[in-house]
Structure 1
C-alpha cells in the first residue's frame, strides 16, 4: 500500500486519523475496510490490491490507537459511537456515498455500530472472523466466558491479560514472542498459548518462541515491529478496556432520536438502541475461519443469524487472520457477494 495514497483528517472531536484512499470507478460502491487488533490498515493489503484492480474506490483507516492515527490513552475516547462518528467524518472528507463497510476482528463491532447508527449511509456490511455485534448492553465478560466454554468446550480468557496494566510493556519487551503469539504458524496453538487462563502472559514472560505464520513477510514483520515494539499498543488495548469496563455498554445506553442519523447519550436505564433497530435488513456477508480457536464459525453463527435475514456465509479453511492466510478465497467470496449487492442496488 503506497504511503503516497494516505491522507489525514482531523475529526470533529479533534482526533487526527490517517487513512488509505484510492479512487476507482464512480459507478461502483466505495469499500471501507476497518481493521482489528493488533493491526493497521496494512493488514488489508491483499484486499486493497485486489479490489483496486477491480475498479473499486477504497478507504482503509488506521483506526484509533494505531499507525498514523492518534493514540490517546483515555479509555472513554474509544466508545463505539464516538469512533463511528470519526469514520463518518472520514467518509464526509472523501465525499463518498454508496459505501460497503467491511470489518475484521474488533473492526466488526465498529462496523456493527455503523450499521445501527448510520445505516442510511451504507449499501451493505461484511464481517470477517467476528459476527454482527450491534450492542454491548448487558455484556458481562464472565458470563460470556462461561457461555463460550459451554459451547466449544474450553475457556477463552485472553481478555484478562489485554486489560491488565503493564501488558503493553510486556508485549514491547518480548516482541518476538508476541509476534508468534499473535500470528502463529499453527492457528490451533491458540488453545494452549492464548485462550487458557494465564497462558499469554506466561508465554511472553518466558520468552516462548512460537513459529510465525508464513504470511508474515519481511515487510509485514517491519510493520508489526513498528506497531508493537516501537509505537506500542497502549492506546490500542483500549478497544478491549472500553468493553471490559462497561463503558461500551453505557455508551450503547444512549438513545437514537427522531432522526436515525442522530445519536445522544441518555440515562443508564434507557435502552440505547431500540429493538427495532437491531435487525439488519441490508445485505450482510460473514466469513469465518474453520481453524479460528477464539471464534469458530458455529459459535458466531449461532448468535446472530436471526438478526440478518439477507445473509451470505463463507467458511474458510484458515484461522482468525483469514484475510491474510487465505486472501484469494476471501477476495473471491467478497467480490461475488459485492456483485450481488450492486445488482440489488440497481433494482
Structure 2
C-alpha cells in the first residue's frame, strides 16, 4: 500500500503494460506456507515496484484453481479497456475512509448480525495474528467469524466453502435475528 500511495502512476503503468499477465500474476491460489515467509508484496517498495521492479508483470501460467480461462479473458478485456487506475484507487482512499468512519452513525458500531469469512492462507490479510480482528470484534456487536482454507481470492478459490458459510449464516440470522450466530 505504501508503494502504491507513493507511486500510483508508476504501479498502475506496470499493471497496464500487460493486463493479461498482471491478472495471471495477481490471481494466485493460497498456500499453507503463506505465513512461514514474508508476503510476496513485502518487498515492493524496496524492489522499486511490483514484480521486482520490472516494467510489466511476468507471463505466469494461469492458475485455474482461482480463475477459469473465460474469467481470465473477461477480466483481461475489461482491464485492457478501462485500465487498473480505477480498481486500484482504493489504496489511495485511506484518509477519506477514515473520515467517513469517524462520521458513522453510532460511532461506527454495527448492531445487526455480521459475517466475516477470512482466508487462512492470505499473505496480505494475515489472520494468524490473534489480534488481527480485534477492531472488527469491538465494532460488530453480533459478529460471526469463519475461516476458509484458501488464499486472498477465497471467493474464487473456495467458492463452495464460502457459499456454505454464507448460506448457513443467513439461515441462522433469519431464524434467530436477535442473537446472530
- Whether TM exceeds 0.5 here: the answer is yes
Q: Deviations over 1:139-183 (max 9, x none)?
A: xxxxxxxxxxxxxxxxxxx44236522332221213344123311
Q: Which residue of 1 aligns with 2:90?
A: 239
Q: Which residue of 2 aligns with 1:106?
A: none
User: What's the Cα RMSD here?
Assistant: 2.9
State which of 281, 284, 304 in structure 1 corresponds to 2:111.
281
Matched positions, count? 169
| Shift in CA distance, 247/311, structure 1 to aligned 2, threshold 3 Å | closer
TM-score (ref. length: structure 2)? 0.76
Q: Which residue of 2 aligns with 1:209?
A: 59
Is residue 2:79 matched to residue 1:228? Answer: yes
Which residues of structure 1 form unaligned runs of 5+?
A: 1-157, 254-270
CA contact (8 A) 2:51 2:58 kept: no
| Shift in CA distance, 202/228, structure 1 to aligned 2, threshold 3 Å | farther
State which of 125, 128, 134 in structure 2 corresponds to 1:302.
134
State the distance in 2 between where 1:332 and 1:293 align.
23
SS of 1:178's equivalent? helix
| Shift in CA distance, 310/207, structure 1 to aligned 2, threshold 3 Å | closer
| Shift in CA distance, 181/232, structure 1 to aligned 2, threshold 3 Å | same
Q: Which residue of 2 aligns with 1:311?
A: 143
Which residues of structure 2 form unaligned runs of 5+?
A: none
State the distance in 2 between where 1:178 and 1:325 align.
18
TM-score (ref. length: structure 1)? 0.43
Q: Name the one with the larger helix percent.
A: 2
Is residue 2:79 matched to residue 1:248? Answer: no
Is residue 2:120 matched to residue 1:290? Answer: yes
